[in-house]
Chains A and B, each alone.
Chain A
Amino acid sequence: SQTIHQWPATLVQPVGSPLSLECTVEGTSNPNLYWYRQAAGRGLQLLFYSVGIGQISSEVPQNLSASRPQDRQFILSSKKLLLSDSGFYLCAWSTYRQPIEQYFGPGTRLTVT
C-alpha cells in the first residue's frame, strides 16, 4: 500500500531563517506530487506541483521554492522566511494515470516568529 511521509511535524523558525520541508512517498512510482499551504481561516492553497523528476510548476508567486530530486521525494524550501509563511504545509500525491483523488501527508505546522 502507498504511504506518504512528511517531516518535521512541527517547526518554529525566526523571520529571515531558511526552511526545508521534506516529503516522501512509498509504494507507488511516478506520482504527481503537490505542496499546499493552509493558513488560519483560509482554504488549502496549492503552492507547487510536479509531474516528474525536476519538473516543478508554481501556482503562486512567493519566496518559496520546490524541488524534486528523486521520483518519490518532494522538497519545499525558502531562503528567508516571512511571518506570512506561517501555516500548515501539506504534501499530497496522486497517480499519474488517473489523477483523481489526492492523498495527503500528515502535514508540517510551521510558525514563523
Chain B
Amino acid sequence: GQNIDQPTEMTATEGAIVQINCTYQTSGFNGLFWYQQHAGEAPTFLSYNVLDGLEEKGRFSSFLSRSKGYSYLLLKELQMKDSASYLCAVRGRGSQGNLIFGKGTKLSVKP
C-alpha cells in the first residue's frame, strides 16, 4: 500500500525553528514535495527533493533520506505568516507526475 504520515498539529514560537517530519511508504519513488497551504487557500509549492540530502531555500530547508523513507521540512526564524498547513507529497515512479499527499501538518506560530 501507499502511506504518508505527518504529525497532525504543531505549535511554535515566533522567531524559533521548527521541524516537520514526514515518513512515507510508496510503491516506487520519484521525488518528494512540500507544499504550504493557508486556511481556505490553495497549496503553494515550497520544495522538491529527489536525491538524499538537504535542499535550502531561504528560511525553508527540506531533507530527504530515501533509504529511511523519511523527510523533514525545517522552518527558521518563524514568522506569524508561517501559520499554515504543510503538506508532504510523494511522486511514484512511472506515474504521470501524480502525487500522493499526506494529510498535512497544521502549524500555529504564537508570539
Q: Which residues of A contact B (CB under 8 A)?
A: 32, 34, 41-46, 49, 51, 57, 59, 90, 94, 99-107, 109
Contacts and interface: CB of A to CB of B under 8 A. Distances in A.
Interface size of B as a range = 20 to 34
Contact of A44 (B31, B40, B91, B101): B101
Contacts of B103: 41-43
Contact of B45 (A44, A57, A101): A101
Given A44-B43, A49-B97, A104-B43, 11 more contacts: A43-B104, A45-B101, A46-B98, A49-B96, A94-B97, A99-B97, A100-B97, A101-B45, A102-B45, A104-B44, A106-B41
A103 B97 contact: no
Contacts of B72: none
Interface of B: 4, 31, 33, 40-45, 48, 87, 89, 91, 96-104
Contacts of B4: 43
A51 B104 CA distance: 27
A99 to B, nearest CB: 3
B98 A49 contact: yes
A90 B42 contact: yes
A113 to B, nearest CB: 20
Contacts of B104: 43
